[in-house]
Chain A
């Protein structure tokens, strides 16, 4: 028998069945990450895995992660955004100027940066969605324009220093206890959602993977969460920027899986014509993707300026490429229609690990470029060859 129709399948569903039909990509990613951590751990005699360095690593990856979260949506929708580096630089610059030159409060400064990002994203999205100019062109233009504006408004000067309330955004830590509480809540949610999903699926007679596999996975994740929290608490605790990434990541995973907007983005990227005939408003949704990307770039700009405690004219240069690479390493297809935010964040972590590990080993920076480039090509090759 080659297949069963659903009646027979549901009857079989309570028979435990090993289901190895999982997404290979997400596991290759985790394996790759563990390998990288081990290799650098050994080469740096454990220094790479020290609490202090892990804390640095999670802080370093935050800006690219925030960009990669938005970039995933953009790429899944079948587009690309080359302007995010410049846009993060510009919004970060505007934030610094408003605070340092005009004395705005941190809250208003952050809000302004995000709004400016969203507005410029709207502008680009309008060209893409309503004027049908390819995103590659629009955002290549945007990349130049935003960098130009940044140089113009900052008159080519570095703008610094910022108020303490601004600096803490990217340079502070959660108290130990709060860190643990978050970890415990996270673990609890993992177990609870798995349990809920399983029981609901059983209730309506759908196939579930065996309890062993499902809960085994959750247990493994929980151990990882716990170990990471423990390590971070050996240093100063959870870095705030990391928490911001986790919150934004969670929010956008939610958006991509639970809202019609998220579903539509995948459908549009997968087959625009079919999506259109299914009554999906292509233009509006495309525009929204760019608005969200812009807002996230604004957030990334704030993080960047806060971390450096200054805004420079070259801030964020080449970040668009790192963000795109993070998405692609994370399994997002440049053809559109396929991609995951978790993957993109892990991709960003892999990229940051390579930067961080190699500089710890005092390898000259030019090697970082070469290695990252090779890994990018390699990741896509694995993706393509695992499909056949």
Chain B
């Protein structure tokens, strides 16, 4: 029997008003990939923050034993020195610096009085070769895809001799091909004896990758099993405490008149003289769910933010909403016209993190809680309460700051905010990113409900099963143009992928 690399026993962590972790036990064997699963707010990230010293020893109760020795980390530095490296979903890298600089940012190589650049690049090259990445160490980090940046972050951890690597939702923002590379890298590392803790809501990945799985629910350990004993369904059942029968609650619904028509729409970015969307035409009808598929960087987000008035750049073409030609120059006009846009990057574009749940949820339609021209806090609270309980939001109080919520619950606040505007067209950009299966199901149900009420829904998603499971019709984008359109009946993963890579072959080297 292998020995334990990590044992956490009786971990309890409380925040004002919330017991995030309640007597959690978590043991990881040396050299295994151990997945940590649970619903949004189950306490996964908190447990890892306890482990890595983000919450210093003393602010929680319980014992942490690494390689047989009890540890009391006072900060992240101490946990790093003990071989624990944590990689968050939000990358901690400097986009303006080169790959090599980023890898060695906090190492002695960069701390020398005079930096030996040749040495630095050579070392970086060595590590890149180890991983099998063909990137020039002198490229600026910001020029890489998110997926590659993630790999750089892992290399950075490895150079610090990490023995326990923690990945908190590493694949949430990655394209399928980047995910594959990450998975094979993790398998390599396992062969080399690195222990890895893997948090993900993508259970398919968990099944292919993990050796064991620990499941948390409401801050408590439900079970730890080896992967042979588990199936996706079993994991889901343990996570949510009940059996989910179907993944996509699709129901046939009526589709009405066109609500959004876009004709020959092109759009150039402000400074950069590059066309982001080229001669795009599509239409969306009342009650229709239109899936928008494509690889990362296909221009989907840009197209819809631009339609929403979020970019100052030059536009041409025609946009018709509900029969009226509109010229949307800024988001307030878009909201007026009945558009709502749920961003893929909720922390950056979706939320004011330091504000309360209530205030965030009314921000896009504040006038609705101002019946007499002044904000009526009670009405505001009541509306926010209704919306968020419909979303099944978990928080200790509606007046909690959004920054205190778990990732999935933050997403529900963003959705609430946009539903509060009563949109005619709801644009959802990767709406289930980082959201657990139960909550995904709830979001799909809300999407169905809205479509039955006649709202037109645009669903941008990089997850093919989701696009296929939810949409009435799918359009596929590549390089800023629409390369294909499929009905629900026609659509398959293969067909979508074929359209998604159309015209991209010349750039194949870009997609590692």
Contact = CB atoms under 8 A, between A and B. Distances in A.
Interface in A9-25: 9-10, 20-21
A259 B374 contact: yes
Contacts, number: 124
Contact of B378 (A1, A2, A204, A271): A204
B355 A267 contact: yes
Interface residues of B, number: 54
A259 to B, nearest CB: 7
B374 A338 contact: no
Contacts of B417: 278
Contacts of A271: 348, 351-354
Contacts of B336: 279
Q: Size band of the A side of the interface?
A: 35 or more
A6 interface: yes
A257 B356 CA distance: 13
B17 A21 contact: yes
Interface in A198-249: 200-201, 204-207
Contacts of B41: 2-3
Looking at A6, A279, A280, the one whose CB has the most chain B CB atoms below 10 A away is A279
Contacts of B377: 257
A271 B364 CA distance: 14
A44 interface: no
Contacts of A20: 16
A173 to B, nearest CB: 33
Contacts of B353: 270-271
A105 B168 CA distance: 69
B355 A260 contact: no
B365 to A, nearest CB: 8
A4 B19 CA distance: 10
B135 to A, nearest CB: 29
B484 interface: no
B363 A7 contact: no
A263 B359 contact: yes
Contacts of A2: 18-22, 41, 43, 218-220
A131 interface: no
B359 A274 contact: no
B375 A280 contact: no
B389 A7 contact: yes
A7 B394 CA distance: 10
Contacts of A259: 374-375
A6 B385 contact: yes
A67 B330 CA distance: 34
B260 interface: no
Interface string A182-205: 000000000000000100110011
A21 B395 CA distance: 14
Interface in A255-272: 257-260, 263-264, 266-267, 270-271
Nearest to B363: A278
A340 to B, nearest CB: 13
Nearest to A20: B16
A5 B375 contact: no
B481 interface: no
B366 interface: yes
B78 to A, nearest CB: 16
A263 B374 CA distance: 11
A264 to B, nearest CB: 8
7 contacts: A2-B18, A4-B396, A204-B378, A206-B385, A206-B398, A277-B341, A338-B354
Interface of A: 1-7, 9-10, 20-21, 197, 200-201, 204-207, 257-260, 263-264, 266-267, 270-271, 273-281, 337-338
Given A2-B22, A200-B378, A278-B417, 20 more contacts: A1-B19, A2-B19, A2-B218, A3-B18, A3-B394, A6-B385, A258-B374, A259-B375, A260-B375, A266-B352, A270-B352, A273-B348, A274-B349, A277-B305, A277-B331, A279-B336, A280-B332, A280-B363, A281-B332, A338-B354
